[in-house]
Structure 1
Amino acid sequence: MNHFAFEARSVSRSFGVVQALKDVSIGIRPGEIHALIGENGAGKSTLMNIFCGKLQPSEGELFRNGAKVSFHAPIDAQRAGVAITPQEVNLVPNLSVAENIMLGAHLTRGIAIDWRATRKAAIDHLHTVDDTIDPRVPVSTLSKAHQQLVQIARAAATDAKILIFDEPTAALTYRETEKLYAYLNAFRAAGGSAFYISHRLDEILDLSDRISVLRDGRFVGELDPSQASKDDMVRMMAGRLVGKGNAAPRLMPDGAETVLKVSSLTRRGEFENVSFELRKGEILGVSGLVGSGRTEVAKCIFGLTRSDAGDIELYGRPSGIGAPADAIRQGLVYLPEERKQEGIFPLLSIAENMALPNLGRFRGIARMRSGEMFAEVQRLVSDLKIKIGHPRDRITSLSGGNQQKVIIGRWLMKNSRILIMDEPTRGIDVAAKFEIQRQLRMLTESTGLSIIFISSELEEVLDVSDRILVMHEGKVKGIFPAGEATQESLLQAAMS
């Protein structure tokens, strides 16, 4: 008998055509820290969100102490003694630390809230995690690390016997991490159970009693931390296909023009001393795990945020970028990760979405030169092989992959020379993904377009890039020629 305190049997979860989890069975025993590892997109957070009631499985069953349970909302999981400390801070900024910790768990006297008892309970839970945080201050005044600790205290306040930690140390300093370790060890000694997700392999080996590995939404094996090495963990996460991608790597000529030079770029709390160069016609892949700082660097280069130190040069001159409009005027564009929220205009047509930043080109004396605009849109639709009905159809009529091509076309119409693409193929099908990769490589060869390609998928980075920059915890860990890199070597650099 396994005597699991909590167990999933044959759990699957789909999001439309995307299979996030497939037939996963996993359990945790009382007094155990069970680590869960895998690459980005392996299904770890999806599984944990099912465990805490945020998501429901498409197939499979959950069991608590051997009895079948169904969680339709997080409150159902809490009533069964299961709580999560999510990866992203999820607190009410204007409420105090104490109020956030006891939110929804206020102590009462009769029908009224007993505020004195509630505050005392909040302080007791907070002190099990950290005794230096003032429980009276609004959480908005705290550092991100302290907010993370408050979130852990809030999970503890539910009196859960099974806690889920999703990248809990990503924002923590060494001191706060030590406090978390002490709390976890005390929780385990008291008979509590914890699922623990982290990309920091050293802490996985130090903390866990068992390690389970997910890859592409499937359970692929279990490791004993007393015998496993970091190389074993990386190998199992990456799988057997650890070589370079299918596209032949290209070598930039020695005299290739440097179009973008970043020197010692720093933004406190996000990244530090980031330096690299991008050459004309090159695709520079950027790889790294959760919290590595990839997106933060991209937004800073584009002018969405300001750096605290460092320099950015475009075409051999100081960029002078103070806002995105400055970057766009100089031919540098950022394509955000959240395509639906930040990339497309859902109420507008395909043509309008593509031509929007370029309308000045088609403005006549009395009206728009629509014929010229539609001809230019149609040319790019043909060049990028975008599958559409009519340019006047709404962009929401297109698949995700074709929407992404429209966004690329938007900035090619603007004669952009540098594209920073953040997870450009996330959420689209494999065929569309390969087509976008192929089109990008063709564009760099035919037009001299230069691309910074940010992706969590190592195989994709290897397939499309000429060189690969690896980041970890806000720092550059290395830049590798794509022809010499493997999935395994990139993972090792990203976790060093």
Structure 2
Amino acid sequence: MPDPIFEARNISKRFGPVRALNEVSIAIGAGELHSIIGENGAGKSTLMNIFCGRLRPDTGALLIDRQPVHFSSPKQAAAAGIAIAPQEINLVPALSVAENIMLGAQIGARICGGAVIDWKATRAEAIRHLHEVDDQIDPASRVGDLSKAQQQLVQIARAAATDARILILDEPTATLTHRETARLFDYIRSFKARGHSIFYISHRLDEVKALSDRITVLRDGALAGTLDPATATREEMVTLMAGRPPSAMRQEPRRIPGDAPVVLKVTGLTRPGEFQDLSFSLRKGEILGVSGLIGSGRTEMAKCLFGLTRATAGEIEYFGQKTRFTSPLQAIQAGLIYLPEERKQEGIFPLLSIVENAAMPSMARFRGLLAMRNREMLAEVMDYIALLKTRIGSPRDAITTLSGGNQQKVIIARWLMRDAKVLIMDEPTRGIDVNAKFEIQAVLRRLTEERGLSIILISSEMEEVLDVADRILVMHEGRARGIVDAAGESQESLLKLAMT
């Protein structure tokens, strides 16, 4: 590696009794993309927040061009040339795309001896940065009207607008389409070609290997190893991250008996502009994977089954009865539950505790004559926490103290307490590390086998549906391209089916 332009030496950080980082040293050179990978809770976000001034280390030092630096705010880090595009959207919904990109960095002008914002120049600069990242987004659009993927791209453009020498990208492709991802990768290459550097965090190991100049693995807050992407294998990366090989975590293929009762049957379901003529069935104890590229109509189909939207044609049979849920409340009362892909925005109550999040839809069951039966509620929640092998501190802690994988388990516990019969899970492991992903997959298998739960699992990761599903519905542009047994299929065969 050439002389580093940025170094972190022996960085340690604690939050109370929890050791988040322990003597971590890392460096980056000019024009380098250095990927940081690890499980949720490995210390990646804590380290990046120290780099960009959001946190201060307990011990250790940061150096730029071999000179010590101390950041007490993101503004100081930005002034030193370090900017972050975080995984969580941090934009102002009511402002335009251009206003968000240049917020706090507007170009000034002097008129009649006074300082004002030169909006024409500011807008032109915003458009320049936006088009470097993606030229399909209208700079005049209100950010709140954009898709999550578009908001993520605007956030990256906003970080780039600081003229950073070092850009931190945290899960930048989690919500992007293939086109948007390819455009972002072009931007990353041009950013590096200008001599700038990138710390890249992602759970998508294939893109980590393709983009990186170096890969550093964190585990339990410590440095687990550094890999050369030219020679590293996915198995090596997973083993360093999880402390065990992926072969020890995978599920064995299985087949659901053909005479298992059908719990959900969909025939010719159509909603113009979203999906059309969808037909499939779901059996008791089965996991039906739904595969397809972003925009294939998978989420729209799930929302229609749950009663959030209405189909214009087709039939739905639920446990042998023709049914058309007209609201989510009807679906929930019948035991059909939808877990949305936007877990943090739509799945959890961030200001409430773990126990409150789990028990929220079941509160009426614990209402006493004069007060809530809190002990009974806590006991039942803890039974499900144990069943799902959820790692928590105190059940009274805020749910935001948990990793993404453990938050997802609490959401599953919530609906098991409501006697869920069918779970529709939309991208259930997005943003979750590989070990937590396998844990959730194992939980889903166990629930189908021990409780007879039936699951529709929607995922843009073909490897995931192959790992956990019994059968796979392949969708493309709103149509079903086929239903196949997961055993014996490959990512290549699924993609070929989707594109035919």
TM range (shorter): 0.5 to 0.7
Specify which of 190, 195, 200 is matched with residue 191 of structure 1. 195
CA RMSD of aligned residues (A): 6.0
Q: Secondary structure, in 3 states, of the residue corresponding to 1:5?
A: strand
Counterparts of 2:176 and 2:409, CA distance in 1: 38
Q: Which moved more, 1:339-348 or 1:250-259?
A: 339-348
Q: Which moved more, 1:67-76 or 1:313-322?
A: 313-322
Which residue in the other structure is 2:101 paired with? 101
Task: Map Cα deviations across residues 414-461 of structure 1 (whole Å, 9 max, x no partner).
Answer: 54433557869x99xx9xx999x88994x76665444568999xxx99
Task: Map Cα deviations across residues 248-295 of structure 1 (whole Å, 9 max, x no partner).
Answer: 99764442223245789999999999997653245779999x999998
Which residue in the other structure is 1:242 paired with? 246
* Deviation for aligned residue 1:29: 0.4
Counterparts of 2:297 and 2:218, CA distance in 1: 24
Task: Map Cα deviations across residues 219-256 of structure 1 (whole Å, 9 max, x no partner).
Answer: 4333434x33xxx4411222142234599997644422
Counterparts of 1:73 and 1:291, CA distance in 2: 39
Which residue in the other structure is 1:163 paired with? 167
Counterparts of 1:332 and 1:35, CA distance in 2: 40
Which residue in the other structure is 1:391 paired with? none
Specify which of 257, 263, 270 is matched with residue 259 of structure 1. 263
**8 Å CA contact 2:348, 2:357 repeated in 1:** no
Is structure 2 residue 212 aligned with structure 1 residue 208?
A: yes
* Deviation for aligned residue 1:28: 0.9
* Deviation for aligned residue 1:92: 2.0
Which residue in the other structure is 1:115 paired with? 118
In the superposition, relative to structure 1, how do residues 330 and 292 fare at CA in structure 2: closer, same or farther (>3 Å)?
same
Q: Secondary structure, in 3 states, of the residue corresponding to 2:169?
A: strand
Q: Secondary structure, in 3 states, of the residue corresponding to 1:6?
A: strand
Long gaps (5+) in structure 1? 388-393
Is structure 2 residue 332 aligned with structure 1 residue 325?
A: no
Tell me which amino acid in the other structure corresponds to 2:263. V
In the superposition, relative to structure 1, how do residues 8 and 493 fare at CA in structure 2: closer, same or farther (>3 Å)?
farther
Q: TM-score, normalised by structure 2?
A: 0.66
**8 Å CA contact 2:282, 2:288 repeated in 1:** yes
Tell me which amino acid in the other structure corresponds to 1:83. A
**8 Å CA contact 1:264, 1:273 repeated in 2:** yes
Task: Map Cα deviations across residues 195-223 of structure 1 (whole Å, 9 max, x no partner).
Answer: 23345556545543333344555443334
**8 Å CA contact 2:78, 2:162 repeated in 1:** yes
In the superposition, relative to structure 1, how do residues 26 and 347 fare at CA in structure 2: closer, same or farther (>3 Å)?
closer
Counterparts of 1:472 and 1:42, CA distance in 2: 35
In the superposition, relative to structure 1, how do residues 153 and 329 fare at CA in structure 2: closer, same or farther (>3 Å)?
closer
* Deviation for aligned residue 1:69: 2.6
Which residue in the other structure is 1:390 paired with? none
**8 Å CA contact 1:468, 1:480 repeated in 2:** yes
In the superposition, relative to structure 1, how do residues 120 and 323 fare at CA in structure 2: closer, same or farther (>3 Å)?
same
Q: Secondary structure, in 3 states, of the residue corresponding to 2:325?
A: coil
In the superposition, relative to structure 1, how do residues 352 and 238 fare at CA in structure 2: closer, same or farther (>3 Å)?
closer
Is structure 2 residue 151 aligned with structure 1 residue 151?
A: no
Percent sequence identity over matched residues?
A: 51
Aligned runs of 1:250-399 on 2, under 5 Å?
Answer: 252-260=256-264, 278-281=282-285, 301-304=305-308, 313-317=317-321, 319-334=323-338, 337=343, 341-342=348-349, 355-358=362-365, 396=396
Which residue in the other structure is 1:50 paired with? 50
Counterparts of 2:19 and 2:291, CA distance in 1: 23
**8 Å CA contact 1:53, 1:74 repeated in 2:** yes
Counterparts of 1:41 and 1:473, CA distance in 2: 35
Counterparts of 1:44 and 1:271, CA distance in 2: 39
In the superposition, relative to structure 1, how do residues 39 and 113 fare at CA in structure 2: closer, same or farther (>3 Å)?
same
Report the count of equivalent residues: 466
**8 Å CA contact 2:101, 2:161 repeated in 1:** yes
Counterparts of 2:165 and 2:279, CA distance in 1: 46
**8 Å CA contact 2:353, 2:398 repeated in 1:** no
Q: Secondary structure, in 3 states, of the residue corresponding to 1:243?
A: helix
In the superposition, relative to structure 1, how do residues 233 and 397 fare at CA in structure 2: closer, same or farther (>3 Å)?
closer
Tell me which amino acid in the other structure corresponds to 2:30. P
Which residue in the other structure is 1:74 paired with? 74
Task: Map Cα deviations across residues 146-198 of structure 1 (whole Å, 9 max, x no partner).
Answer: 54443333222211111122333444455554543443333323221122334
* Deviation for aligned residue 1:4: 1.1
Counterparts of 2:475 and 2:21, CA distance in 1: 27
Counterparts of 2:66 and 2:169, CA distance in 1: 23
Long gaps (5+) in structure 2? 388-393
**8 Å CA contact 1:32, 1:188 repeated in 2:** yes
In the superposition, relative to structure 1, how do residues 461 and 15 fare at CA in structure 2: closer, same or farther (>3 Å)?
farther
Q: Secondary structure, in 3 states, of the residue corresponding to 2:396?
A: helix
Counterparts of 2:100 and 2:16, CA distance in 1: 35
